[in-house]
Structure 1
Amino acid sequence: MPASPKSTDPADPARTPLSTLAGVGARTAEKLAARGLLTLQDLWLQLPRRYEDRTRLAPIRGLQPGMPVQVEGVVEAVERGFRYRPSLRVALGDDSRATLVLRFFHFRATQVAQFRVGARVRCYGTPRPGQHGLEMVHPTYRLLGDEEQPGLGERLDPVYPQIEGVGAATMRRLIRQALERLPDDDTLELLPKAVLRERHLPSLRAALLTAHHPPPDADVAALLAGTHPAQRRLVLEELLAHHLSLRRQRITLQRHAAPAFAKAGALADRLRAALPFALTGAQQRVFDQLVRDLRRPVPMLRLVQGDVGSGKTVVAALAALLAVESGAQVALMAPTELLAEQHLASFRAWLEPLGVRVGWLAGKVAGKARTQARAAIADGTLQVVVGTHALMQEGVAFRNLGLVIVDEQHRFGVHQRLALRDKGTEGGRVPHQLVMTATPIPRTLAMTAYADLDVSAIDELPPGRAPVRTVALSAQRRPELIERIRGACAEGRQAYWVCTLIEEDNDKPGEAGSAAGSGARSEMVAQAAQGTFEALCAALPELRVGLVHGRMKAADKQHAMRRFKNGEIDLLVATTVIEVGVDVPNASLMIVENAERLGLSQLHQLRGRVGRGSAESSCVLLYQPPLSQTARQRLATLRETNDGFVIAEKDLELRGPGELLGTRQTGLAAFRVADLARDADLLPVVHGIGDRLLHKAPAVADRLIERWIGGAARYAGA
């Protein structure tokens, strides 16, 4: 059931329900409510996703592919075709002595009759290259009478996000009604006037009116790019609201007490002395930050990000020892059993020689073993517990949980992270939280999405790690690549061949074959991997070829991965289930099939599975030509750099924050107008205003959060 508006107070126009608008009956109100549109304020902030410029006519000769325009011309020829499917082609000419083709795939006989030779047509659409010059596919159009001279639009026409059951014309009419009830500047404005003057930005009322109905003299290019001062004004307030929401939640959480780990750190010193390597400068810097946090009696909330192989796990182990030495328990949660098992092996190798008892709890731990593990967690016998989602289940109780470590935290939902944290809330205290990711997060995204966390970066690889050589090859060169695998394996090295799902949309990165994948999509990836496995077995009969995909039983997956790690498999055919955490130092060749289908960060993660030993390593990105412009940019970026932070910035630019972080998983609400890649320069301003409001005008901060986020504010401390 949709939520109800918080207030129907006529003195508060912002909260006036939409049922007060003409034409909004019960059914329309229900459709709007399903999209979160409940009040007049919701419609004020339902901003156009783009604009159509019907204020001028463009000559056909000057049209540019991909640039939407309005043209007017005379029908020169009409042709119906049925070669592959029904189509209607209309040739339109104008005074510039050029021709544009209008193409329709869905049409009625009456439309064909309308487009008689000599008829005048005005249409709006996006020209694109066709077989015989430029064409518009399914433009909006109007047939004109012989003497008819319709005027041009006075303002840009807004195009709003589609809502099922509510037509575009109805949406425009309702928003126009809502805007007529906008209060005056003094009632509506929440930002300090000095800030607006400093940034040369309009009031909120003026910004909303301009954003919904730009005047004829508006900078069209700026509006289409999202950089018009009216849009920047709205972006500033929206970013500020999200920032305040996260800061407010952090403040709330830090009012709780947390255990202070004040011991000298003798166990951590013993582990460092036993390690066969010295910490890098970046590891030492981040560990020092953790020590400072963990010695304070307020909950640590820190995100540690670091590129593949930068050494986050050993830093987490050192932090765990600080908690253990102070008598607290530690829980380390990973999103997959593969990754959790690897952490378990590392922690046991490092901590058990120091007398620390390390336990294991995952879905496959069943029966008597599960009962015993739960009992040992509850009575404190197990000091460090490594596991998967099973750690959060009802019936798992810790005696004294003091530190929660979450790896690849973006793969867990908000509720899941809270559920584990709440295992340690006895006595009014909450555990410290350390979250880690091997997907470097762009600074702009971290400042916005993780304003409730302190962010640390391990931005230095251990010495001796050579960069992975990356090349992109057309799939037509597959036979020579098979020979390359034969040669590498003959020299005693190992290789991965990663299969991904082929989709129709060339510009949409896939998330194929994740460990948690299910349903038809995962089944298709598994079938593709099975087919590739059989083909490579036939082509390379002398090699030991293994197979891992998300549809296999967990035990079978683990067995195959263990054999590969032990050198009993030469070539592993896999889905992207091996994206995170698998460490096989002898593997020096990675082939990613249909690489153009994956996002930059995912490709970088896959590439990180090789180059972990002393041998020179390569990553081959196999693609199906022709490449789209976006895919070409992705592959070029990977060839040019091995720096995960540079790659993350480019990925943000190409894919947007929602896809990069996984919006539904992080709880990061979708922005209405802000674009983090475009609007990054406003973030320092947002932080400054946020500090002032939280200290001097907390009530204003609450109103900003309510205006832009409302009930979607994220859970405290998640």
Structure 2
Amino acid sequence: MASANDITQLKGVGAAMALKLERLGITQIQDLLFHLPLRYQDRTRIVPIGSLQPGDEVVVEGEVRVSDIQMGRRRALLCRIQDGTGTLTLRFFHFSAAQKNGLAPGKRVRCFGEARPGPNGLEMVHPEYRASGNDGLQPTDTHLTPVYPMTEGLQQNKLRKLMEQALSWLDTGHIEELLPASVRSYWKLPELKAALRYLHTPPVDADQHLLLAGRHPAQRRLAFEELLAHHLTLLKLRQQIQQDGAPAMAATGHFSQPFLAQLPFSLTNAQQRVSQEVAVDLAQPRPMLRLIQGDVGSGKTMIAALAALQAVENGFQAAIMAPTEILAEQHFNNFQAWLEPLGIQVAWLVGKLKGKRREQQLASIADGSAQVVVGTHALFQDEVRFYNLGLAIIDEQHRFGVHQRLSLREKGRDGIQTPHQLIMTATPIPRTLTMSAYADLDCSIIDELPPGRTPVNTVVIDDSRRDQVISRVRAACQEGKQVYWVCTLIEESEALQCQAAEVTAEQLKEQLVELRIGLVHGRMKAAEKAEVMQRFKQAELDLLVATTVIEVGVDVPNASVMIIENPERLGLSQLHQLRGRVGRGSVASHCVLMYHAPLSKQGKERLAVMRQTTDGFRIAEKDLELRGPGEVLGTRQTGDMQFRIADLQRDSDLLDAVRDAATQLTQEPTLTSAITRRWLAQGEEYGHV
């Protein structure tokens, strides 16, 4: 039996109409009320025909003077109307005999449409119109007319009639006001019913510019509640995890002190601060949930190593998960070099590991002899059993969805305790997204680069100067430097990317016969990729042609030049990641962005940002501005973050208030459940695995 909120309760909504509405995400009357107008039309006043300008969308009224069918390439009904100030043509390509008769000379007609230039002055094509009957013309509208987002087979007039019914339904008290009066009063937010009524039937004097910008108080009221629902969901996730309890692992210094003593450098102040925050978290009997952001090369891996040592000092295992086998192998090599001299066994687990070696690694993880485990998403697999996982470190979090990192958490669950979680990313996340997508995490920022790093000089040039670029590559390699040449194609097509890289490598081999050139792309076997990368790292190759597979984690200090082809096809954060592969040593480094003309206005703007700054956070903010949150975080991360009304960028100034309100409301579980249920109707709360 349908509920009182079901859309089929409205008159005129049968099975066919319900299917059309469902395509717009509307299955409940409440959904219909939250389906807000894109813009508004002013049908509240009649405009003199003589004052019309091309592009005006208005109501006019006049007497039909001439009504004729014009034959030609397209048969059309033409009506000329006059109002004493001027003449306007109404043009209909689709019409019936009854329609022609209803628009006979002498009839008075009121119509709404857009005035456009025609062969004989201004005209309206297929305007909405009403001819006068015996009772004369109806009065004009008393409020602005909404224009809604539509789907095939649905018309504005039909949706407006349904909305009238929904607003009557609203009056009967079916929608509950969930924001407490104290919250509404403090943040000056209107009541829900008043906000909805205003947005569907704005008064004549409404500020349309404010409405179009999504900044009207009524819109902000709805955006606030929607952002609050998402925030409450993430806080609920955090509470669920922290209720489990975690092993309290105090820092003893047993391993960390000799580890730091053997390093040929000192930690930066930022590294010391963040590692201390992590150490304090690990000592608590509740799971650490901390996100570490640090620009490319800021030394996040060192923080991860210290955290892992703290776990091992307390008799627990630490797992480090990376998104690619290249990065996992690099982490494994680093951790092995650092930790094995301290007597700590490091295991590693990736997809390419087969047979006896794989069995040995699985056994050492299960019996606890492997105290630190490095791997890819292979660590999620059912056959992987940890002895006592105390800490899960996830590198490049944006490559994994929320559900994936939560499933790694399950690996350590022993029925009583949950492992601590340390999330790391070198893709700076704008504060806006950190506050919304990562509300379940504490956040630390490594805002300082180690000494000795050299800024990368970035140049943007047209690919018509390719020969000059190749000469520059030759000169750099002859000076003993190493060069990356990155091929990008349509991001979704890995096959085409790999093909482009293969073709480019062959062309460069012909043009640079004296150089040792290698190739890495995503379709190569993992062992082949690792071998080529190792040769490049050991300076046995001068030039490495690659796809964006090298975006994350590759560390070759001698590589000081990077060429990126078609950079206009990549997001700014991805370009920043790629550029971070050079400038890792003490020599001056260069990044050449070789675009294919013509560039769009946005393309020029994006590449200009890369040239102007190496600040990852500034770049990330610009990326958010240009591409939106789904692109910046990656669809796997934002799949559960689809907003109906709120816009993370436009409404970013609400986030502090939302966070405060969420903290205030967490003590009222019934209320918070009602708010999240309203906005996340499918029950998809990110916390459930």
1:75 corresponds to which residue?
none
Tell whether the 8 Å contact from 1:305 to 1:455 is kept in structure 2 after alignment: yes
2:574 corresponds to 1:605: no
Q: CA deviation at 1:393?
A: 0.5
TM norm structure 2: 0.86
Distance 1:36 1:144, change over 3 A: closer
Corresponding residue for residue 496 of structure 1: 484
Indicate whether 1:255 and 2:243 are aligned.
yes
1:631 is aligned, of 600, 603, 624, to: 603
Paired AA for residue 636 in structure 1? A
| TM-aligned CA distance change 1:196 to 1:415, over 3 Å | closer
Which residue of the other structure, out of 461, 475, 478, is the alignment partner of 1:473? 461
Structure 1 residues 182, 581: closer, same or farther in 2, change over 3 A? same
Using the TM superposition, give the Cα deviation of residue 713 of structure 1 relative to its aligned residue in structure 2, in angstroms: 3.9
Q: Which amino acid aligns with 1:707?
A: R
Task: Give the SS at the match of 1:188.
Answer: coil
Residue 574 to residue 698, structure 1, CA distance change in 2 (3 Å): same
TM-score (norm 1): 0.82
The one of 446, 465, 477 equivalent to 1:458 is: 446
- In 2, distance between residues paired with 1:344 and 1:453? 26
C-alpha distance in structure 2 between counterparts of 1:588 and 1:70, whole Å: 62
Which residue does the alignment assign to 2:37? 48
* Residue matched to 1:18: 7
- Return the alpha-carbon distance in structure 2 between the equivalents of residues 45 and 109 of structure 1: 34
Which residue pairs with 2:27 in the alignment? 38
1:174 aligns to what SS in structure 2?
helix
Cα pair distance change 1:69/1:632, threshold 3 Å: farther
Matches within 5 A, 1:52-67: none
Q: Does residue 513 of structure 2 align to residue 534 of structure 1?
A: no
User: Aligned-residue CA RMSD in angstroms?
Assistant: 3.9
Label 1:661 to 1:50 Cα distance change in 2 as closer, same or farther (>3 A).
farther
Q: Distance in 1 between matches of 2:42 and 2:234?
A: 38
In structure 2, relative to structure 1, the CA distance for the partners of 1:139 and 1:246 (3 Å cut) is farther
Q: State how far apart, in whole Å, the 1-side matches of 2:501 and 2:607 are.
A: 22
Contact 1:60 1:71 in 2 (8 A): no
Contact 1:402–1:430 under 8 Å retained in 2 = yes
* Bigger shift: residues 359-368 or 618-627: 618-627
Partner residue, 1:711: 682
Contact 1:185 1:204 in 2 (8 A): no
Q: Deviations over 1:458-481 (max 9, x none)?
A: 111111212111121122222211
Alignment of 1:346-365 (within 5 A): 346-365=334-353
Query: Which residue of 546, 571, 574 maps to 2:546?
Result: 574
Alignment correspondent of 1:117: none
Q: Structure 2 CA distance, aligned partners of 1:682 and 1:234?
A: 11
Question: Would you say 1:375 and 2:363 are equivalent positions?
Answer: yes
Where do 1:207-218 residues align within 5 Å? 207-218=195-206
> Partner of 1:234 in structure 2?
222
* Other-structure match for 1:384: 372
Q: CA deviation at 1:193?
A: 2.4
Matches within 5 A, 1:292-307: 292-307=280-295
Tell me the alpha carbon deviations over residues 67-99 of structure 1, each in whole angstroms, 9 at most, x when there is no partner: x96799xxxxxxxxx9xxx9xxxxxxx9xxxxx
- Greater displacement, 530-539 / 297-306: 530-539
Is the contact made by 2:23 and 2:151 (CA closer than 8 Å) also made in structure 1?
A: no
Give the partner amino acid of 2:29: L
Q: Cα deviation per residue 1:370-393 (whole Å; 9 max; x = unaligned)? A: 111111111111111111111110
Aligned CA distance change for structure 1 residues 624 and 553 (closer, same or farther; 3 Å): same
| Alpha-carbon distance between aligned partners in 2 of 1:152 and 1:574, rounded to the nearest angstrom | 65
Distance verdict in 2 for CA 1:175–1:501, change over 3 Å: farther
In structure 2, distance between residues paired with 1:591 and 1:152: 63
Tell me, yes or no, if the aligned pair for 1:669 and 1:712 is still in contact at 8 Å.
no
SS of residue paired to 1:706: helix
Contact between 1:307 and 1:440, CA under 8 Å: does it hold in 2? Answer: yes
Q: Distance in 1 between matches of 2:375 and 2:523?
A: 21
Specify the code of the residue in structure 1 equivalent to 2:537: K
Alpha-carbon contact 1:587-1:610 (below 8 Å) kept: yes
Offset from partner CA, 1:22-76 (integer Å, 9 cap, x none): 233334435545665332222222223455667788988787xxxx96799xxxx
Using a 3 Å threshold, how does the CA distance of structure 1 residues 176 and 370 change in structure 2: closer, same or farther?
farther
The one-letter code of the counterpart of 1:711 is Q
Distance in 1 between residues matched to 2:325 and 2:164, nearest whole Å: 53
Equivalent residues of 1:122, 1:144 under 8 A apart: no
The answer for the alignment partner of 2:166 in structure 1 is 178
Is the Cα contact below 8 Å between 1:663 and 1:670 reproduced in 2? no
- 2:328 counterpart residue number: 340
Structure 1 residues without counterparts, runs of 5 or longer:
73-81, 87-93, 95-106, 115-119, 128-135, 503-511
Distance apart, 1:157 and its partner CA:
4.4
The 3 A distance-change label for structure 1 pair 431 and 168 is farther
For residues 542 and 52 of structure 2, the distance between their equivalents in structure 1, rounded to whole angstroms, comes to 60
Instruction: Report the 3-state secondary structure (helix = DSSP H, G, I; strand = E; otherwise coil) of the residue aligned with 2:393.
Output: strand
Q: Choose from 609, 612, 616 the match for 1:640.
A: 612
Aligned partner of residue 535 in structure 2, secondary structure: helix
Separation of aligned partners in 1, 2:43 and 2:577: 46
Query: Take 2:156 and 2:527, find their aligned partners in 1: how far apart are those partners?
Result: 53
- Determine whether 1:594 maps to 2:598: no
Which residue does 2:77 correspond to in 1? Answer: none
Task: Output the amino acid matched with 1:627.
Answer: L
- DSSP 3-state at the match of 1:710: coil
Q: Which amino acid aligns with 1:701?
A: T
Query: Pick from 326, 329, 338: which aligns with 2:317?
Result: 329
Task: Give, in whole Å, the separation in 2 of the partners of 1:290 and 1:31.
Answer: 51
CA distance in 2, matches of 1:396, 1:266: 29
Q: Which residue identity does 2:685 align to in structure 1? A: R
